[in-house]
Amino acid sequence: MSIPKRRRRELRASFLMTAPFLFIFIVFFLYPTFSVIALSFTDAPLIGEGQWIGLDNYAKLLNDRLFYTSLWNNLYFVLLTVIPTTVIALLIALAVSRLKGRMQALVLTLFFLPYVLPVSVVTMIWAWMLDFQFGILQPLIAAITGKPVPVFKNPYWVMPMIAVVTIWWTNGFNVLLLIAGLRNIPPDLYEAAALDGATPWQRFWRVTWPLLWPITALVLTLQLILQLKLFDQVYLLSNGGPFNQSYVVLMQMYREAFQLNNGGYASAIAMVLFLFIVIVSVLQFQLLRIGGRK
């Protein structure tokens, strides 16, 4: 068989193998993305055609006080979750990595179990445990504050408690990533450090932390992207209240699209959030890479 004919057969085979993925990618991702971009420049309802209005939706968004409130709530939630959940996952991973055999598997299963639960089940569990009248955690809150607190109706408690729920729900995946990173560290390095007289803290700081940093940077970046897309927990636990203290960007997009039928304006909100997530996550990842090289 000639070389050109063989290359044509290879190209045909490669195209046939990638065609299903390309079809799904174009139909379910690329086409909807371009549709949303085009919709954001119109005054269209959620379903139907609209008139081209250029950048009017974006100009309106820049003067929308509710958008700035929701964006601040997103950033506040990021502060409450991204670094704390990474630190907690790292501590759990270090502890679990010291276990062996079935005990390690059992503990890992217990930590990962919440992650496989749907958000509706997670919020139902925590809404019951934190119920103002019957919640089993209300005595603990009363011991701290002196009285029971309706946490999801209190403007000072609502976002921290949603952050607690989110950390409990999602942290199992972070623990698995960090344990995988710990298992990739050669044991010989720890043995050499011990022979040199390094203390446990020095072994962690000089061996574990530098080699685990790429996985830690990945966890931080994934958590940043995930928490900026916050919607489900807020919608089910507080519905954005009280007094818009838990009102986030995706809730505003949902309200504009499905309640006010402003598809064009909702698309503009979605595009701004998308660009914000891309810029912030790329900057964070690059800064973390630079920090890891020092």
What is the pLDDT at residue 14? 81
Written as six digits, the tokens of 270 are 């979605």
- The predicted model scores a pTM of 0.89
What is the C-alpha to C-alpha distance for residues 182 and 184, in angstroms, rounded to an integer?
A: 5
Side-chain-facing half-sphere of 147: CA atoms under 13 Å: 2
What is the C-alpha to C-alpha distance for residues 133 and 148, in angstroms, rounded to an integer?
A: 8
For the segment 205-229, the average pLDDT, to the nearest whole number, is 90
pLDDT in tens, 104-127: 888 888 889 999 999 999 999 999
Q: Are 58 and 268 a contacting pair, CB within 8 Å?
A: yes
In the numeric block, the tokens 């100009």 are attached to 59
Q: Are 236 and 158 a contacting pair, CB within 8 Å?
A: no
What is the C-alpha to C-alpha distance for residues 104 and 116, in angstroms, rounded to an integer?
A: 19
pLDDT in tens, 18-66: 888 889 989 888 898 898 999 999 999 888 888 999 999 999 999 999 9
For the segment 96-109, the average pLDDT, to the nearest whole number, is 87
Domains parsed from the chain with CATH numbers:
64-293 (1.10.3720.10)
What is the C-alpha to C-alpha distance for residues 218 and 177, in angstroms, rounded to an integer?
A: 9
Q: Are 85 and 174 a contacting pair, CB within 8 Å?
A: yes
What is the C-alpha to C-alpha distance for residues 71 and 53, in angstroms, rounded to an integer?
A: 24
pLDDT in tens, 141-173: 999 888 889 999 999 999 999 999 999 999 999
pLDDT in tens, 218-231: 899 899 999 999 99
Most confident of 12-16, 131-135, 197-201: 131-135
Amino acid symbol at 51 = Q
What is the pLDDT at residue 19? 87
Amino acid symbol at 170 = T
What is the C-alpha to C-alpha distance for residues 79 and 83, in angstroms, rounded to an integer?
A: 7
Task: Grade residue 197 by pLDDT with cuts at 50, 70 and 90.
Answer: confident
The mean of the pLDDT values for the chain is 89
Written as six digits, the tokens of 77 are 């939630």
Give the three-state DSSP class for 48.
coil
What is the pLDDT at residue 2? 64
Residues 6+ apart with CB under 8 A from 36: 267, 270, 271
What is the pLDDT at residue 292? 59
What is the pLDDT at residue 196? 81
Q: Are 90 and 97 a contacting pair, CB within 8 Å?
A: no
